Chain A
Amino acid sequence: MKKILLILSTILACALSAQAKLNVVATLPDFGSLAREVGGDKIDLVVLAKATEDPHFVDARPSFVVSLRNADVLIDGGAELELGWLPPLLQNARNPKIEIGKPGRVQASQGIRLMNVPTNVTRAAGDVHALGNPHFTVDPIIAKAIAQHIAQSFSAVDAANAGFYDANYKKFETAINAKLQGWGAIMLPFQGQHVAAYHDSWPYFAHRFGLNIDVFLEPKPGIPPSPSHLTDVIGQMKAQKIKAIIVEPYHDRRIAEKVARSTGAKVVDFSQFPGGIPGTDSYVRLIDVLVSRLADALK
């Protein structure tokens, strides 16, 4: 028995000492991208959800348990977007380092004022999120706040490299501040314009750039578009002269194309996540692409 224990503890010791870099798990690719900005090559990063799949419904794969078991830091949204798949993974991962309240746990929604918090929670309204709309990272100002959280967490867990993380955060902040001027200028001519979207993922983006993304192909969040609802949408789009329909990689693009044909609007491929559409391997490049694509469509 002692021998077995000895062998086991040797295996554990090996497993522990092998990790020179900080093991970081991000539930979603946007958090992963911010973690990479801050952590650079000092972290080993695992992103659970794919950039192209619906973040509401990710399979709780057993391999995720292994990643979470080994994590020094976990970054999740904290706004119930991952509610359908993260809890059983965390139950099984049994990793006290990433419990809520520990420095190894970043809940990105901390300190963020979520928009569209429902006053009444009823599923008759579709897949509403009780804490508010969880698709917040697409606002660059919010992204900075999340990156700062991440830098603080990394510094707390890996104090030796605190200066490195802090410097990277500052670099990111400066880059975003500079970029915002350009993005703001590009979007300036379209202030107050109405834009349609397949799903209500864009209130934060709209708020930042002064748009009204308020017509949705889904009759209610998560409910597939019905013909009668689409008829209403087409009428509304024509009345408001809406020129663009935002779709994400996992939405049924054919439905958006059909609506586009009836209204003369353009289908614009958007993604909340870096990597969800081509040429968006970093957060800054994602917003670059989103802003320029939307501006092209609205011209």
Chain B
Amino acid sequence: MNKFILIGVTTAALASARAQDSASTPAASPDLENLRQQVQALTETVKALQQQVKDQQVAIEKANGNAGSPPQNPEPSPIAAAANSPTPGPSAPARFQTEDTSVVASTAAPAASPGPGVNANETAVSGNFPTTDTSVVSSAPETISSTGAGASLTQPISIGGGGKNYMNISFDGLFALAGSSARDLDHIEVGDHDPQQRGFNARNIELAFDGAVDPYFEGFANIVFKLNNDNETEVEVEEAFLQTTSLPFNLQLKAGQFFAAFGRINPTHPHTWDFADAPIVHGRLLGPDGLRGVGAQISWIVPVPWYSQLILGVQNGRGGTGYSFRNPGDDGMFFDRRTTDRELRGLQDFVWIPRWENSVDLSPTQVVLAGISGAFGSNETGANSRTQIYGGDFLYKWKSANAEGGFPFVKWQTEFMYRRFEAGRGVNESFPVAETFHDWGLYSQVLWGFKKGWVAGIRGDYLDMEDSKFTDDFERQSRSRISANLTWYPTEFSKIRLQYNHDFLAENFFLSDRDVDSVFLQFEFILGAHGAHKF
């Protein structure tokens, strides 16, 4: 206090001296001089108060027995000091309580603590354990606005997989080392992405993109590069489509290039398959590339208590990816007919693809999914030749209630297909007869994930192609096959698969005339966005 008075007196003396100085200069106005004096006086007062605060802080720290801790603010700026001086600031109580309470101090201790301010104990409960923690809950969560607009959040929020990017990008490389007793593996294996020659195969190297286009659409694209048997790169726009997000009445519209929603295997990409090659019936009735094309699709979730979805797709069905439909064939020949290769004449030339799928949970660990599909359109073997394909599919899956990484599980999947193909007489009635082929086939496979990362599988294939006296196309051969495989997924981003196929072709003169044994070592890696798993 004495010090304060001393300072005050000194200030006054100085001020008066200055006043006398300035009085001698006529230019300075008396008002300005007054102001100057006041400022000077204030500065001194602030300095004095600063000192007082410092003294008090030291006293408090000593009282708390924390003398060892370094002084918080050795040289405080006048402004900071002034802010602190009138009343204790908001930070002060936290510091005091942190230091005062034994439990708080120890909780604050772990190095993992992201921030220093641990206790802002506004709900003063009887005990000392902190009940709020600003280091983990960054804001009082009044941030959800009822309108949904502009929630001010400190944490970046991502759409699943979206992160902070506008789209997800991933890259998938699928390769196979093949050994076979057949010299023409490309005739034995029915799928375009299956191993097609002895030795190494790179039939499915895929770039995938997806993301929200805007509030109304999501976009997807899969570009596939494959190396043919002469190691030349071929490119396929496998899929590229947009899909609505907010149509009313549980409707969804999809448009672009996409796999037809026919059965289980057809709408999925080869790298998600459980075997290294396509089922025979899939490759021979829907085609080596599956049934896909440019078109549109509408789907409706039926409002019933179980999962029930109706889907109707329409595609051009033209070319090799519309294999049983408007497919001009290799060199203009299909099933030995010289094909018409015509423009669309009307709605009947589109491929119409309806599907109805249903699923129920038998128990918390068991799911069943069953669907029926159809594909109806024209084909190119005659002016008015039609194709109809019908399919039924069934999936049963059990997964342990204590599954780790999705294991263990058992999955049984079966698909049946029937095709009615009106083979006309070709362009200008050049083929001797018109025939109607009734072809059918099925496959059934069981996968057993017996241990985290390990799956064993077995599959049976059967295809019955109607005999014809007029065509001996190798793609019209009835056949059957059994396969077994073992897959190791080191993580969900890589896999190594060993598969054995036995093709019963002993009596099939056009394909092999003896049984064929093949072994595939398939390996895959995925880079980039985390692919989500469809059921």
Contacts and interface: CB of A to CB of B under 8 A. Distances in A.
Contacts of B151: 101, 110
B378 to A, nearest CB: 27
A98 to B, nearest CB: 11
A191 interface: yes
B106 A101 contact: no
Interface in B221-251: 243-247, 249-251
Interface residues of A, number: 90
Contact of B155 (A52, A109, A153, A206): A109
Given A56-B405, A90-B160, A180-B129, A62 B144 contact: no
Contacts of B146: 103, 156
B160 A152 contact: no
A113 interface: yes
Interface in B114-161: 114-115, 123, 125-133, 135-139, 141-149, 151, 153-161
Interface in A188-245: 188, 191-192, 203-204, 206-212, 222-224
A8 B406 CA distance: 38
B305 interface: yes
B310 to A, nearest CB: 12
A199 B251 CA distance: 41
B250 A69 contact: yes
Contacts of A8: 249
A40 interface: no
Given A85-B532, A149-B141, A206 B136 contact: no
Contact of B361 (A63, A142, A251): A63
Contacts of A80: 158, 160-161, 530
Contacts of A188: 103, 106
Given A83-B161, A83-B532, A141-B132, A210 B403 contact: no
Contacts of A110: 141, 143-144, 151, 153, 155, 157
A192 B109 CA distance: 8
Nearest to B494: A123
B159 A123 contact: no
Nearest to A276: B402
Interface in B382-428: 397, 399-406
Interface string A85-106: 1111011101010011111001
A250 B146 CA distance: 38
Contacts of A65: 301, 307
A279 interface: no
B218 interface: yes
A20 interface: no
Interface in B477-521: 491-493
Nearest to B246: A96
A230 B397 CA distance: 34
Interface in B178-237: 218
Contact of A152 (B139, B144, B155): B144
Nearest to B529: A83
Contacts of B306: 63, 66
A181 interface: yes
Interface in A139-160: 139, 141-142, 144-145, 148-149, 152-153, 156
Nearest to A16: B303
Contacts of B303: 11-12, 15
A180 B130 contact: yes
A79 to B, nearest CB: 8
A61 interface: yes
Contacts of A91: 218, 243, 245
Nearest to B452: A224
A48 B112 CA distance: 32
Contacts, number: 247
Given A84-B492, A85-B532, A184-B129, A66 B305 contact: yes
A185 interface: yes
Contacts of B131: 141, 144, 176-177, 180
Interface string A47-75: 00010111011011111011001000000
B136 to A, nearest CB: 5
Contacts of A251: 404
Contacts of A280: none
A52 B401 contact: yes
A94 B253 CA distance: 11
Contacts of B143: 110-111
B136 A252 contact: no
A164 interface: no
A292 to B, nearest CB: 16
A184 B127 contact: yes
B112 A203 contact: yes
B403 A54 contact: yes
B346 interface: no
B247 A94 contact: yes
A123 B492 CA distance: 11
A78 B251 CA distance: 26
Contacts of A208: 107, 133
B367 A62 contact: yes
Contact of B125 (A101, A141, A178): A178
A296 interface: no
A45 to B, nearest CB: 15
A149 B530 CA distance: 28
A111 B137 contact: yes
Given A94-B250, A127-B491, A184-B103, A59 B137 contact: no
Contacts of A85: 532-533
Contacts of B138: 111-113
B153 to A, nearest CB: 5
A115 B136 CA distance: 8
Nearest to A12: B303
A26 B138 CA distance: 23
A107 to B, nearest CB: 6
Nearest to A203: B112
A141 B533 contact: no
Contact of B158 (A131, A149, A212): A131
Contact of B133 (A92, A126, A141): A141
- Rank and list the top 9 A-B pairs by shortest CB-CB distance, nearest first: A181-B127, A184-B129, A62-B359, A62-B307, A57-B406, A87-B160, A156-B146, A177-B131, A250-B404
Given A84-B533, A111-B155, 5 more contacts: A62-B367, A80-B158, A177-B125, A181-B125, A210-B109
Interface of A: 8, 11-12, 15, 50, 52-54, 56-57, 59-63, 65-66, 69, 78, 80, 82-88, 90-92, 94, 96, 99-103, 106-107, 109-115, 123, 126-127, 130-131, 136, 139, 141-142, 144-145, 148-149, 152-153, 156, 173, 176-178, 180-181, 183-185, 188, 191-192, 203-204, 206-212, 222-224, 249-252
5 contacts: A107-B157, A109-B155, A112-B138, A180-B130, A181-B129
